[in-house]
């Protein structure tokens, strides 16, 4: 497991960009963390690094947003409002992965090992203050005036990230602010 800290929104975006730089078509990336931990902000930095030019917003109510303006098709899903495994199956995440895209899933950690090979990124707000960037939906959108330190942990599940782990570790450590 790789653990880094960020002390600004720009640094969180830089870590996301570092992950995007190593990611490739067919990758599943799971964002985990409590409300307001910065999952959507991470997704925004990730998508921008892929070249997505349209606004990246939380798909909490639509469940999946797809962006095809970047170097790789980017699918951003949010499982927060889903109650049953059947509802997740209806999203067809596997088909999105097979479409030569990258799938980034907020709240996907609730599915655990049923996801297969993936990279889990856990974001945690450091306990030294309140996140001034949090929206009403609890996720950081990067539009607020303040920032609280974040701990970001990266953990691979399965073997797909093993050949890229050293490159990912180097890129993420270089991008982090601590």
pLDDT by residue (tens digit) across 9-21? 999 999 999 999 9
- Reduce the DSSP state of residue 123 to 3 states and report it: strand
Question: What is the structure's pLDDT at 61?
Answer: 59
In whole angstroms, give the CA distance from residue 122 to residue 34. 9
Taking Cα atoms as reference points, which of 149, 125, 154 lies closest to residue 8? Answer: 149
How many angstroms separate the Cα of 141 from the Cα of each of 36, 43, 100? 9, 9, 27
Helix or strand holding residue 67 (H, E): strand 64-67
Question: What is the structure's pLDDT at 147?
Answer: 62
In whole angstroms, give the CA distance from residue 164 to residue 141. 29
Question: What is the structure's pLDDT at 65?
Answer: 81
- Reduce the DSSP state of residue 83 to 3 states and report it: coil
- Quote the pTM value: 0.81
Domains of the chain: 2-175 (3.40.50.300)
Question: What is the structure's pLDDT at 28?
Answer: 92
pLDDT by residue (tens digit) across 45-66? 999 999 999 999 876 656 788 8
Question: What is the structure's pLDDT at 85?
Answer: 46
């Amino acid at each position: 497991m790789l653990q880094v800290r960020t002390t600004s929104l720009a640094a969180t975006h830089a870590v996301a960009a570092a992950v995007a730089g190593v990611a490739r078509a067919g990758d599943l990336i799971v964002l985990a963390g409590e409300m307001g931990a910065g999952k959507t902000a991470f997704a925004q930095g990730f998508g921008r690094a892929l070249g997505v030019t349209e606004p990246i917003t939380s798909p909490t109510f639509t469940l999946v947003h797809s962006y095809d303006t970047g170097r790789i098709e980017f699918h951003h899903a949010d499982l927060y409002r889903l109650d049953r495994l059947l509802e997740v199956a209806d999203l067809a995440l596997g088909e999105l992965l097979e479409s030569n895209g990258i799938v980034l899933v907020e709240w996907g950690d609730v599915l655990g090992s049923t996801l297969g090979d993936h990279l889990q990124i856990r974001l945690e707000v450091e306990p030294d203050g309140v996140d001034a960037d949090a929206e009403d939906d609890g996720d950081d959108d990067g539009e607020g005036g303040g920032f609280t330190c974040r701990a970001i942990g990266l953990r691979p599940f399965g073997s797909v990230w093993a050949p890229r782990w050293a490159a990912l570790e180097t890129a993420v450590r270089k991008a982090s602010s601590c």
